[in-house]
Amino acid sequence: MQVVVMGPSGVGKTTMGRALASELAVPFIDGDDLHSPEAVAKMSGGEPLSDTDRAPWLEKVARSFDGGASAVVACSALAVRYRDALRAHAPNIFFVELDAGAELLAARMEYRDGHFMPSSLIDSQLATLEHLGPNENGIRLDAGWQLEELVEVAAVCVRENLG
């Protein structure tokens, strides 16, 4: 099972990813832990990453699935081209998109301690976001749902699509 929980910063990817990985009995990997120190410093300073900055990070995230490894990975995967980079390593990857507006994201980020991503980057993340398309293997869920509901629906969809 190769799953990416995706969406903008503050949407709940890590929380959802951990819970979904536990439900599916597969490892969890937080894509934030794979960023280079330079990328973290850039984002911490309020500067969005460029595609050039993201490329080595997406490569590291994609390698999480090398050899057909099962995992749930929390990764923003905001644009189709980023998801394509991941699919190049794991063609059958299943995406769980957590969807939230700027207001909910800002509220969640306000109460999050110790994370490098400032709320000033919410607008750039939402501007980059390309929702899952009809030809992409995945599901889009409302991040405002209770965690238990999100995990239940996502787990059913993952099992139906990935066996």
Separation CA 71–CA 75 (nearest Å) = 12
Task: Give the pLDDT confidence of 83-121 residue by residue, as tens digits.
Answer: 999 999 899 999 999 988 777 766 666 665 654 555 556
Beta-carbon contacts of residue 120 (< 8 Å; ≥ 6 apart): 46
Separation CA 76–CA 121 (nearest Å) = 13
| Number of domains comprising the chain | 1
The pLDDT value given to residue 163: 66
Domain that holds residue 132: 2-162
Beta-carbon contacts of residue 4 (< 8 Å; ≥ 6 apart): 61, 72, 73, 74, 75, 77, 83, 86, 93, 94, 95, 96
Q: Which two tokens stand for residue 116?
A: 């490098």
Q: Which two tokens stand for residue 76?
A: 């923003």
Going from the C-alpha of 98 to that of each of 44, 51, 58, the distances in angstroms are 23, 22, 19
Q: Report yes or no: 36 and 57 within 8 Å, Cβ to Cβ.
A: yes
pLDDT in tens, the chain (163 residues): 899 999 988 788 899 999 999 999 999 999 988 888 888 888 777 777 788 988 998 999 998 888 888 999 999 898 999 999 999 989 999 999 998 877 776 666 666 565 455 555 677 777 888 999 999 999 999 988 999 999 999 999 999 998 6
Q: In what order do the strands lie in the sheet with 71-74?
A: 28-30, 71-74, 2-6, 94-99, 138-142
CATH number reported for the structural domain that contains residue 135 in this entry? 3.40.50.300
